Structure 1
Amino acid sequence: MSNVSLPPIFVADAMGIDFLNSRATPVDTPVEWLGSGEDLIAWIKAAGLAPADVLQDFKANASAGELDAVAEQARSLREWFRGFVHQHKGKALKVSELSKLEPLNRILERDDTFGQIGVGKDEATGSSRFVWVEKRRWHSPESLLLPIAREIANVVCNEDFRLIRACEGHACTLLFVDRTKSHRRKWCSMAVCGNRAKQAALRERMR
């Protein structure tokens, strides 16, 4: 598996599924985006899951070994959820599966979030208004797992597992939620796997 040479890929239309795509084979070569603590911070920054100043603080003050240990935990969480998704994708997720989500709930119970009143914009009028802002206390590098766990929980609670698909591209392992009206999405990206499939079909017809 290669070191990170590509920017993180976000094609799933659900961040919890994009987290699974942090280890993938998008174009023939397997890529691991969470191979180290610094890789994990870079992926979280690209995903917008933690404030930039928090990530910079952890990068500057945590030891390399401490961050690498959190990256290892993130990879373990990812592979646990990958198994869960592959087992249940394509069919309705039943509440009887709750016991299988215990590893995720154990992480979620560590969360230390709170809300505050802030100022935001009313999208309809463009004027300023008070809004509820959710914040988190980032006690240690392990806190970086919490927004990821929340995104995974969002997939479990709010996504239709019948619409979770695997890209049909040759050797591609990317997953996504099919939000198309016809629910016939086949590719992680038309620009990559879709285009390659069209080219292959054209070559086959020319033969």
Structure 2
Amino acid sequence: MNLEHVFVCGHPALDFAATLRARRTAGFEMFVSPERLDAWYLGSGLVDAVSPSQDTDVERAVAVREALYRLFTARRLGAPYDAGALALVNSAARKPAATPQLTADGRWTVATPEAALSSVARLAVELLSGPDAPLLKECGNPECTRVYLDRSRGMRRQWCGMESCGNKIKAAAYRARKKQLRDAG
């Protein structure tokens, strides 16, 4: 499977939670190394530079990611929040976050792994307590477990992203219809 990070969920904290793919099946871990965690922080646009992560930073990030996923799922389903997940996310959010600085060339944000993770946790707190929380949806692809923000008209979006899931499902349905027509004829 591709180790490139994708950002299709409409919010950095949701994209962070989606770094364990295909949770219902085998599960595919994107944070396989400190370098992959750092690549996510940079790719997300939350920071412009991050000091190198260590294995302990990856362990902490994975724990916070799993707590975020539990909180997003609970909010989406209207279920109570897990106390342990709340405590872990709030603890991460209490740490100093990445602080953008203004330079002659524009904004520049340098962070430690802890500060970058705090920024993700703070964004999740804002999302879960803000006006966009009712827009949380899970991808309609049975193999995908990404939670995304549905800002479509009438909240009719079904996929986390057309390229990542929508096209796959639509192509499979098309092939199934064609096969059914061939078999019937």
TM-score higher than 0.5 here? yes
**Residues 178, 119 of structure 1: CA spacing in aligned structure 2 closer, same or farther, 3 A cutoff?**
same
Corresponding residue for residue 156 of structure 1: 128
Q: TM-score, structure 2 length as denominator?
A: 0.77
Alignment correspondent of 1:110: 95
Q: Is 1:75 equivalent to 2:72 in the alignment? A: no
Displaced runs of 4+ in structure 1, greater than 4 A? 97-100, 112-121, 133-136
- In the alignment, the residues of structure 2 paired with residue 6 and residue 113 of structure 1 have an alpha-carbon distance, to the nearest angstrom, of 25
Which segment drifts farther, 15-24 or 184-193?
A: 184-193
CA distance in 2, matches of 1:193, 1:110: 35
Which structure 1 segments of 5+ residues have no match? Answer: 60-65, 122-132
Residue aligning to 2:183: none
SS at match of 1:176: strand
Amino acid at match of 2:154: S
> In the TM superposition, what is the alpha-carbon distance from 1:112 to its structure 2 partner?
5.7
By how many angstroms is 1:89 displaced?
A: 0.5
Per-residue CA deviations over 1:164-187 (Å, capped at 9, x if unaligned) read 111111412222110101101101
1:144 match: secondary structure: helix
Q: Which runs of 5+ in 2 are unaligned?
A: 181-185
Q: Residue in 2 aligned with 1:84? A: 71
Distance 1:13 1:190 in 2: 13
Aligned-residue CA RMSD (Å): 3.3
Distance 1:90 1:170 in 2: 17
Q: Quote how far apart the aligned CAs of 1:151 are.
A: 2.0
Task: Tell me what 2:140 maps to.
Answer: 168
Q: Judging changes above 3 Å, is the alpha-carbon distance between structure 1 residues 119 and 24 closer, same or farther for their aligned structure 2 residues? A: same
Deviations 1:19-78 (A, max 9, x none): 11111139x8743221221111111011112222xx2xx23xxxxxx6110110000001
When Rg is computed on C-alpha atoms for both structures, the one with the higher figure is: 1
**Letter in structure 1 aligned against 2:59:** E
Q: 1:196 to 1:51 in 2, by over 3 A?
A: closer
Could you say if the C-alpha distance between residues 192 and 29 of structure 1 is closer, same or farther in structure 2, counting changes exceeding 3 Å? Answer: farther
| Superposition deviation, residue 197 in structure 1 | 2.2
Q: Distance in 2 between matches of 1:78 and 1:37?
A: 15
Scaled by the length of structure 1, the TM-score of the pair is 0.70
Amino acid at match of 2:116: L
Provide closer, same or farther for how the CA distance between residues 119 and 103 of structure 1 changes in structure 2, counting only shifts above 3 A. same
Corresponding position of 1:186: 158
Q: Contact conserved, 1:16 with 1:154, CA < 8 A, in 2? A: no
Question: How many angstroms does 1:116 deviate by?
Answer: 6.9
The alpha-carbon distance between structure 1 residues 98 and 76, as it changes in their structure 2 partners (threshold 3 A), is: closer
Structure 2 vs 1, CA of residues 82 and 98 (structure 1 numbering), >3 Å: closer, same or farther?
closer
In 2, the alpha carbon distance for the partners of 1:101 and 1:183 equals: 27
Please list the CA deviations of residues 125-164 of structure 1 after superposition, one character each: whole Å capped at 9, or x if unmatched. xxxxxxxx7967x4x5433322221221222232533321
Change (3 A) 1:135 1:185: same
